[in-house]
């Protein structure tokens, strides 16, 4: 058995090598992402492990199939960049890693919220300028707030446990309700109810056509004045222009964004200077004291990276051996 793994970073390589040694399976690690140029590297392999940053087009998938590769394993959750018709036409089986570390995403989300509530970005700037005064930057306390969690999957539930640990009241909305949370009476019946009650809105929903620009001018208007917005999920959930308008008006007190709707090609890139970042809306957000932008790093922990690599390799091995796997995705 031979597997090719695309887009392997230096921080992933030790976990890949460990798995390859333990399983006695040859794994070729290449730094290139899977695309029309790099796909030829897969010739002669039985399966491919990949990472979602580029679209997996019909051309790429047809070429994989021509090499006899019918096993495609993502090291991430999302599959929205895959040409589903080409997958079906070529009878390619796809897996993802649905839960590499829910705690990693939840922990950064709450860390960023606490920084916003305690005004630490403002104090960092003041202290750097030699100003050690408190006022006027008085803080808020999470324990006196209502947090509205949107989507109660693994990550949403991990975040809820932390919010509750701070003493916050937690409400939630999800089309698919968790029985245990249902029994606790945590769910509200509509997003409008959540918007009306929440002091903090914590987004943990996937990127779907239905969720695109879920937060927009109309929905921001339904929220409390001074609401805090947290998005460690998918950039497309928020209409960026609407968020900027809501920040300008004060409707939104602040936001912590680990994702951005135009992040591909921008996040995980060193531009050399702030001015060189080629997105004016992103720079608008980054320049604000009440907005924290991180470049899609919520997942980026040692535990999560190890799990993403080794779970994906396990899935690919299962697909090659049996034609199915624990984390198979129906396309």
Of 39, 18, 230, nearest in space to 145 by CA: 230
Residue 207: predicted pLDDT: 84
How many of the other CB atoms lie within 10 Å of CB of 248?
Answer: 11
If one compares 286 and 80, the residue with the highest pLDDT of the two is 286
Torsion sign across C-alpha atoms 167, 171, 175, 178: positive
Short-list 215, 202, 140, CA closest to 170: 202
In whole angstroms, give the CA distance from residue 38 to residue 282.
30
Please name the residues in contact with 74: beta carbons below 8 A apart, sequence gap of 6 or more.
Answer: 49, 50, 51, 52, 94, 95, 96, 97, 312
Most confident of 67-81, 204-218, 310-324: 310-324
- What is the structure's pLDDT at 271? 97
Confidence class for position 265, pLDDT limits 50, 70, 90: confident
- Annotated catalytic residues are 234, 263, 296
The tokens of 109 are what? Answer: 């989300």
Q: What residue spans in the chain does CATH classification 3.40.50.720 cover? A: 2-100+302-322, 102-293
Report the pLDDT value the prediction gives residue 103, as an integer from 0 to 100. 96
Nearest CA among 121, 107, 77 for reference residue 95: 77
Selection from 137, 135, 140 nearest residue 122 by Cα = 137
pTM, 2 dp: 0.90
Contact 329, 79 (CB under 8 A): yes
| Predicted confidence band of residue 197 (pLDDT cuts 50, 70, 90) | very high
Q: Report CA 297 to chain centroid distance, whole Å.
A: 8
- Paired tokens of 136: 């006027």
pLDDT at residue 162 greater than cutoff 90? yes
pLDDT at residue 241 in the model? 98
172: left (phi over 0), alpha (psi -120 to 50) or beta: beta
Residue pair 266/276 in contact by the 8 Å Cβ criterion: no
pLDDT of 81: 86
Nearest to 74 by CA among 161, 155, 167, 6: 6
What is the arithmetic mean of pLDDT over 159-185? 97
| CATH, domain 2-100+302-322, list 3.40.50.720, 3.40.630.30, 3.10.20.600, 3.40.50.10310 | 3.40.50.720
Question: Which of 45-54, 188-197, 288-297 is the least confident region?
Answer: 45-54
pLDDT (tens digit per residue) in 69-120: 999 999 998 888 899 999 999 999 999 998 899 999 999 999 999 999 999 9
Q: How many residues does the chain have?
A: 331
User: What value does the mean pLDDT take over residues 125-151?
Assistant: 97
Q: Is 178 left (phi over 0), alpha (psi -120 to 50) or beta?
A: beta
Residue 77 has a pLDDT of: 85
Cβ–Cβ < 8 Å for 69, 94: no
pLDDT in tens, 3-47: 999 999 999 999 999 999 999 999 999 999 999 999 999 999 999
For 211-262, the pLDDT digits (tens) are 999 999 999 999 999 999 999 999 999 999 999 999 999 999 999 999 999 8
Q: Which CATH superfamily is domain 102-293 in?
A: NAD(P)-binding Rossmann-like Domain (3.40.50.720)
Distance CA(115)–CA(290), nearest Å, equals 9
- Give residue 258's pLDDT: 98
Q: So what's the pLDDT on residue 209? A: 87
Q: What is the reported pLDDT for 54? A: 84
């Amino acid at each position: 058995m031979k597997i090719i793994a695309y887009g392997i970073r230096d921080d992933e390589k030790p976990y890949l090598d460990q798995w390859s040694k333990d399983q006695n399976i040859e794994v070729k690690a290449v730094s290139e992402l899977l695309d029309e140029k790099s796909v030829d590297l897969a010739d002669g392999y039985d399966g491919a492990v990949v990472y979602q940053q580029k679209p997996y087009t019909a051309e790429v998938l047809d070429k994989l199939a021509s090499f006899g590769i019918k096993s495609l394993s993502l090291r991430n959750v999302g599959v929205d960049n895959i040409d589903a018709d080409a997958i079906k036409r070529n009878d390619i089986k796809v897996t993802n890693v649905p839960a590499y570390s829910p705690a990693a995403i939840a922990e950064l989300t709450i860390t960023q919220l606490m920084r916003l509530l305690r005004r630490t970005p403002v104090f960092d700037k003041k202290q750097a300028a030699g100003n050690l005064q408190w006022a006027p930057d008085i803080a808020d306390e999470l324990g006196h707030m209502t947090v509205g969690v949107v989507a109660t999957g693994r990550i949403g539930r991990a975040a809820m446990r932390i919010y509750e640990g701070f003493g916050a009241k937690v409400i939630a909305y999800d089309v698919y309700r968790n029985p245990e949370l249902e029994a606790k009476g945590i769910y509200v019946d509509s997003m409008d109810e959540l918007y009306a009650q929440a002091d903090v809105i914590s987004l943990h929903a996937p990127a779907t056509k239905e969720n695109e620009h879920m937060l927009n001018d109309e929905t921001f208007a339904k929220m409390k004045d001074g609401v805090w917005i947290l998005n460690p999920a998918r950039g497309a959930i928020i209409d960026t222009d609407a968020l900027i308008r809501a920040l300008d008006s004060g409707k939104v007190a602040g936001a912590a964004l680990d994702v951005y709707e135009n992040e591909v090609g921008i996040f995980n890139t060193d531009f050399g200077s702030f001015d060189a970042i080629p997105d004016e809306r992103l720079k608008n957000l980054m320049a604000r004291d009440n907005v924290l932008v991180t470049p899609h790093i919520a997942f980026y922990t040692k535990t999560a990276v190890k799990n993403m690599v080794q779970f994906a390799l396990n899935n690919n091995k299962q697909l090659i051996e049996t034609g199915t796997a624990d984390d198979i995705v129906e396309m």
